């Protein structure tokens, strides 16, 4: 089976749930697979390297550069998480103002920091239209006759 067909099958069923119980399951099945529809491949793009930024390392360095020690950082983070969980139910004006500040900071990071990093190549989008995949089981009698 060629790579394109394998990729189309994976794309068609990427959100399917696997209905298996706990334990090891053995399979030995044969099918006739029919794939129909259309596929459109877009040009590759140059994008900001957001997925290449190591979050944990970045936060560790950020805390270090801010002069926050490990215990103090953990205490502040624990306090912030607890407060966020408590306040999320009832966001008063003070919390909404803080959220606005964070949104501004995120925008500044995207525009002024990430936006100025060297662009990385990302593979172009693949869009499928009316993609249909049908599986027809191959019966034991058909296998024996072949």
Residue 90: the pLDDT is 63
pTM of the model: 0.46
Give the pLDDT of residue 112.
80
Q: Judge contact between 35 and 8, C-beta under 8 A.
A: yes
- pLDDT band with cut points at 50, 70 and 90 for residue 93: confident
Give me the chain's average pLDDT, please: 81
Residue that wins the pLDDT comparison between 3 and 92: 3
Predicted pLDDT of residue 146: 65
**Which of 35, 34, 61 minimizes the C-alpha distance to 137?**
34
Write the CB contacts of 42 (distance below 8 Å, at least 6 apart in sequence).
124, 125, 126, 127
Per-residue pLDDT at 60 exceeds 60: yes
**Phi and psi (nearest 5°) for 99?**
-60, -40
Q: Which of 27, 11, 30 is nearest to 135 (CA)?
A: 30
Q: What is the pLDDT of residue 43?
A: 92
Nearest-10 Cα torsion for 43, 47, 53, 55: -90
> Mean of the pLDDT values across residues 118-137?
85
Q: What is the mean pLDDT of residues 115-138?
A: 84
């Amino acid at each position: 089976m060629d790579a394109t067909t394998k990729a189309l099958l994976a794309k068609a069923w990427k959100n399917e749930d696997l209905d298996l119980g706990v334990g090891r399951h053995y399979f030995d099945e044969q099918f006739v697979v029919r794939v129909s529809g259309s596929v459109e491949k877009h040009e590759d793009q140059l994008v900001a390297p957001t997925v290449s930024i190591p979050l944990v390392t970045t936060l560790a360095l950020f805390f270090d550069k801010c002069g926050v020690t490990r215990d103090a950082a953990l205490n502040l983070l624990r306090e912030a998480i607890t407060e966020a969980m408590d306040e999320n139910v009832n966001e008063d004006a003070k919390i909404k103002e803080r959220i606005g500040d964070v949104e501004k900071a995120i925008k500044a990071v995207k525009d002024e920091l990430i936006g100025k990093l060297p662009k990385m190549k990302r593979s172009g989008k693949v869009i499928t239209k009316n993609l249909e995949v049908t599986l027809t089981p191959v019966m034991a009698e058909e296998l024996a006759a072949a």
